[in-house]
Amino acid sequence: MRITIHRGTHEIGGNCIEVATDKSRIILDVGMPLFNEDREPHDSTTLRRQPSEELRKTGVLPNVPGLFDDTGRRPDAILLSHAHEDHTGLLRHSQVEIPIYASVGTSKMMQAGAKFAGQPILPRDRHEKIYAGQPVQIGDFSVTAFSVDHSIYGAQAFLIEAEGKTVLYSGDLRMHGRKPGMHRSLIEAVKDRTIDVLLMEGTHISHTDHRGPNEYELEDEITAHIQSAPGLVLASFSPQHVDRLVGFFRAAKKTNRIFIADAYTAFVMHLIASETSIPRPESTKEVKVFFPKFFEQTYEKKRLESFHALMSPARIGMEEIRSNPSRYVMLFRPSMLESDFGGSLPNGSRCLYSRWTGYLQQPEWKMTKAKLDEASGDLIETHTSGHIFYEDIIDLVGQINAKMVIPIHTFEPAKFSEFSQNVKLLADGEVLEMK
Ligand SMILES: [Zn+2]
């Protein structure tokens, strides 16, 4: 068995890994890089539009035989660990004959992301469902998926076996989500086995002293911020982050406020209604649905007529929100500022910002802050990472006890050597022969 990390050995995002035998090849993730060589964030909207030739020239598209072009034999499959673009973003450049293995949760998040946020499409005719704990055979490989907790619904780790060797790919994961049972059962499943190679994400490997709250502690924090808010609460988080969605919904409920989903969030709630504790927006008094103007103008083109009709009984308009602002916690995005709020927020609005702090430097967020100031409101950061904390990496790597640990999804791979003797550092494109 051979492993080649085409991208991801020295950066966060853009994962693309090949695992091969003489007869079979599988690709783990086809991610869009998040940063350029100077570690400045890429403009994802630009990269999304660029043609393959351009991306090949600039090195965004890794050179993997038969994956993005027809030179060389095609890989047998692409496996997606989760629906974030730094793992799926290059999918549209891949050869259409290659099947794509992903969880049902990932396909749902991709469906929502494609309809509402310009994210990659998972073509239905290429999708092969992969269920946690049920091994699938792909050429020489037996692949078993495990549900893992990450800042998006449906994330999986993969255990890959062939030729008597075993590789575990963590994908992106953490141990401080709402379902700690997930990492416990992963550990339980692999701890008595020989893992030859662990491909381990290390997003937070350099934040040795940082430990944020878990999702339950964060829910308490959010509840307190809503409790003390005088007016409308604007909630900024990714609807695909279902843990966070549940947290905000519950916090709203505990403070006797109604949670207002936007169309995108309502669509996610609709897709996962049978799998979570949050109610269907159309059949509860605890949730209202706000249709932003942009959605009203585009839902037919997006073929969301039946969803539009289904959600109509739960709809709420801006007039009602403005007349009773302190009754609501409303999903907010900066694009609503002008088109839906007409450039002015209700007095005393509080924005609870629950995303990566770096985005606050973007012009749309600077504008939001200015509008909050004008309305004598405020913005509070209340967030926890989707990635495993430093101490938990040590714990997890220790418990899995692999013969070889290869860092991925990190800017500081060498830091793994501080706590593990078995670290092997690879360069992008370097082939590791497992003997
Ligand atoms: Zn990632």
Interval between CA 112 and ligand 1 midpoint (Å): 18
Is residue 179 within 8 Å of residue 201, measured between CB atoms?
no
| Cα–Cα distance for residue pair 3/430, rounded to 1 Å | 8
Q: State the DSSP H helix or E strand holding residue 352, giving kind and residue range, or none if neither.
A: strand 350-353
Rounded Cα–Cα distance for residues 331 and 248 (Å): 9
**How close is the Cα of 85 to the center of ligand 1, in Å?**
8
User: Model-level pTM?
Assistant: 0.96
So what's the pLDDT on residue 117? 95
Considering just the CA atoms, what is the radius of gyration of the chain in Å? 22
User: Rounded CA gap, 269 and 210, in Å?
Assistant: 32
Fold entry, domain 2-208+386-433: Metallo-beta-lactamase; Chain A (3.60.15)
Q: Could you tell me the distance, in angstroms and rounded to a whole number, from the CA of residue 233 to the centre of ligand 1?
A: 29
Sheet of 100-102, strands arranged across:
127-129, 100-102, 77-79, 25-28, 16-20, 2-7, 431-433
Give the max Cα distance, the chain.
69
Alpha carbon of 326 to ligand 1 centroid (Å) = 36
Q: Which two tokens stand for residue 221?
A: 């924090």
d(CA 435, CA 425): 17
Residue 260 CA to residue 314 CA, distance in Å, equals: 10
9 C-alpha vs ligand 1 centroid, how far in Å? 12
Q: Which of 173, 235, 210 is nearest to 408 (CA)?
A: 173
CB 8 within 8 A of CB 90: no
Question: How confident is the model at residue 435, as a pLDDT?
Answer: 85
User: Where in 148-214 does DSSP place strands (E)?
Assistant: 156-162, 165-169, 197-201
CATH superfamily entry for domain 215-381: Metallo-hydrolase/oxidoreductase (3.40.50.10710)
Neighbours of 134 (CB within 10 A): 10
33 Cα to the center of ligand 1, angstroms: 9
Domain limits of the chain?
Answer: 2-208+386-433, 215-381
Q: How many angstroms separate the alpha carbon of residue 172 from the centre of ligand 1?
A: 6
- Residue recorded with tokens 């059949």: 283
Rounded distance from Cα 320 to ligand 1 centre (Å):
39
Contact 173, 393 (CB under 8 A): no
Sheet holding 350-353, edge to edge: 287-290, 258-262, 328-331, 233-236, 350-353, 378-381
Residue 166 identity (one-letter amino acid): T
Q: Which burial class, exposed, middle or buried, applies to 24 when counting CB atoms under 10 A from its CB (0-12, 13-18, 19+)?
A: middle
C-alpha of residue 152 to centroid of ligand 1, in Å? 10
pLDDT string in tens for the chain (435-residue length): 999 999 999 999 999 999 999 999 999 999 999 998 888 888 888 999 999 999 999 999 999 999 999 988 999 999 999 999 999 999 999 999 999 999 999 999 999 999 999 999 999 999 999 999 999 999 999 999 999 999 999 999 999 999 999 999 999 999 999 999 999 999 999 989 999 999 999 999 998 888 999 999 999 999 999 999 999 999 999 999 999 999 999 999 999 999 999 999 999 999 999 988 889 999 999 999 999 999 999 999 999 999 999 999 999 999 999 999 999 999 999 999 999 999 999 999 999 999 999 899 999 999 999 999 999 999 999 999 999 999 999 999 999 999 999 999 999 999 999 999 999 999 999 999 998
Asked if 47 contacts 55 with a C-beta cutoff of 8 angstroms, the reply is yes
Strands 287-290 and 258-262: parallel
Q: How many A from CA of 84 to the centre of ligand 1?
A: 7
C-alpha 200 – ligand 1 centre gap (Å): 12
| Element at 331 (helix H, strand E) | strand 328-331
